[in-house]
Amino acid sequence: MGPHPAVAAIRLAVRRVLHDVLTEFAEQTERTGRVPRAPHPELAEAGAGRRRPALPERTDTPLVLVACSGGADSMALASALAFEARKLAVRAGGITVDHGLQNGSDTRATEVVGRLTAMDLDPVEAVAVRVGHDGGPEAAARDARYAALDAAAERHGAAAVLLGHTRDDQAETVLLGLARGSGIRSLSGMAAASGPAGRYRRPFLQLDRQTARTACMAQSLPVWDDPHNIDPAYTRSRLRHEGLPALEKALGKGVVEALARTAQLSRDDADALDTWAAEAGRDVRDDAGRLECAKLHALPPAVRRRVLRRAAIEAGSPAGSLFARHIEEVDRLITGWRGQQAINLPGRVEALRQGGRLVIRQS
């Protein structure tokens, strides 16, 4: 008798990602002519919640880490990784991040380390972080978490880090992007692979949240339900428990699936436009590398604004602080020129029109 259908589904999703990681690892080895080195023993133990014997200097198999909070999604992901890694030439480990935002968070992190270790994952560690205030509590916690995961991946020489985001998470991300009015890139949601060299992989984007929870129940895996996930003080929590149910009540079932499809279609379109804009950005410059307003004006608006955004970022404007309204103001220097003054952008960057050229520079 085979595994429960939910268990089979999560294992298949992880297996596909691991095959991708193995293929990329082999291609990198062939391209560079050498097997990627494991981290230095001192780095492998730095900051570890649980010390492990030093890894060998060279390894013929990639290491894949799972980011696990102890919730149903990430516990299902960890169990699937542990199962599939035993059948493939993959080493599997786990990282849990203690945000320190709730009483007893360190104890829960220790419990997660124990559960991952019981799955024979190695290395396993808990990493405590300090959450700042920039961008609000949700954004600050996310930034601290990814910084910790990046550091852990570098420390252990991991080829990939698996994240447990599901189709439901994707739908919520699309709606949040829609509410911000941030354009098609926001509507594209989370990518299946993102981060430095595609480090972060999301195997569950085609699976719903209930499948992951059912897989945990079928395997008798203990899970922890984060109270922040039901706290109405958090925007995503309100959307999950009030917004999406209201949409499904008004529009019928299938809203989550439709939003997830929208994310993929939007991502395909955004990627194509970004490629076009990268090529156009070279063509609209004069011999001195300055942007020519006439050539910019001839571009489709979606391409032109991408060129302008890229130029602003290259001049020093922080991408996270550069909003659509900023780019629209700069765009008016091209399409609605009436002798306007310089436009001030985040990062002390200014955009101004001079003699038929658009100058974007540090002020």
How far is Cα of residue 16 from the mean position of the Cα atoms in its chain? 19
First and final CA of the chain: distance in angstroms?
69
The reported pLDDT for the residue numbered 42 is 45
Please list the pLDDT of the chain residue by residue as tens digits (363 residues). Answer: 789 999 999 999 999 999 999 999 999 888 877 655 555 444 444 444 444 444 443 468 999 999 999 999 999 999 999 999 999 999 999 999 998 778 888 899 999 999 999 999 999 999 998 888 776 777 888 889 999 999 999 999 999 999 999 999 999 999 988 887 767 888 899 999 999 999 999 999 999 999 999 999 999 999 988 777 777 888 888 999 899 999 999 998 899 999 999 999 999 999 999 999 999 999 999 999 999 999 999 999 999 999 999 999 999 999 878 888 899 999 999 999 999 999 999 999 999 999 999 999 998
Give the list of residues 6+ apart from residue 262 with CB closer than 8 angstroms, or none: 174, 187
Between CA 90 and CA 235 the distance in angstroms is: 38
Residue 46: predicted pLDDT: 43
Question: CA 245 to CA 251: how far, in whole Å?
Answer: 10
Structural contact between residues 128 and 109, judged by C-beta atoms closer than 8 angstroms: yes
Does the reported pTM lie above 0.85? no
Give the pLDDT confidence score for residue 14 in this predicted structure.
Answer: 98
For 320, phi then psi, to 5°, come to: -70, -15
Look up residue 52 and give its amino acid.
R
Residue from 147, 156, 264, 266 nearest 196 by CA: 147
Strands 160-162 and 63-67: parallel
Q: What is the pLDDT of residue 350?
A: 96
Alpha-carbon distances, residue 206 vs 184, 227, 262, 270 (angstroms): 20, 25, 13, 20
Distance CA 85, CA 121 (A): 9
Task: Identify the bridge partners of residue 359 per DSSP, sorted by sequence position.
Answer: 352
Cβ(239)–Cβ(37) under 8 Å? no
Instruction: Please give the pLDDT value at position 356.
Output: 94
| pLDDT of 279 | 96
Q: What is the DSSP string of 20-77?
A: HHHHHHHHHHHHHTSPPBPPPHHHHHTT-SS--PPPPSB-SS-EEEEE--SSHHHHHH
Instruction: Measure Cα distances from 118 to 76, 79, 111, 182, 289 in Å.
Output: 14, 10, 11, 43, 58
Overall residue count recorded for the chain in this entry:
363
Can you give the pLDDT at residue 36?
57
CA quadruple 201, 207, 210, 214: dihedral sign: negative
Contacts of 221 (CB under 8 A, 6+ apart): 75, 76, 79, 115, 215
- Asked if 105 and 90 count as a contact pair (C-beta separation under 8 A), the reply is no
Q: Distance between CA 282 and CA 300 in Å, rounded?
A: 15
Secondary structure percentages of the chain, helix, strand, coil, to 5: 55, 10, 35
Q: In the prediction, which pLDDT does 119 show? A: 97
Q: What is the DSSP string of 243-304?
A: IHHHHHHHH-TTHHHHHHHHHHHHHHHHHHHHHHHHHHHHHTB-TTSPEEHHHHHTS-HHHH
How far is the C-alpha of 290 from the C-alpha of 121, rounded, in Å?
53
Tokens of 261: 């499809």
